[in-house]
Amino acid sequence: MPTIFFYGPKLDKEKRQEMVQSFTETASKLTGIKKESFVVYLFETPRENVGVGGKLLEDLNIP
């Protein structure tokens, strides 16, 4: 089964559903694989656990 992983901020249920649907539809369209075959994992990653350029996101002015 094709698998999609997404690491990002905490989202409400409506946004999570929209993201899973969008990822699945786009991947299916581009690969020709049935939507039912895709598995999508959403991992909530707090800003204090993400580093960019050697600095934590919580310390940068990046939304």
Q: Record the tokens describing residue 63, joined without a space.
A: 């939304």
Q: Which two tokens stand for residue 7?
A: 């690491």
pLDDT string in tens for the chain (63-residue length):
999 999 999 999 999 999 999 999 999 999 999 999 999 999 999 999 999 999 999 999 877
DSSP, res 60: S
d(CA 12, CA 31): 28
CATH tag, 3-59 = 3.30.429.10
- Write down the domain spans for the chain: 3-59
45 within 8 A of 8, measured Cβ to Cβ: yes
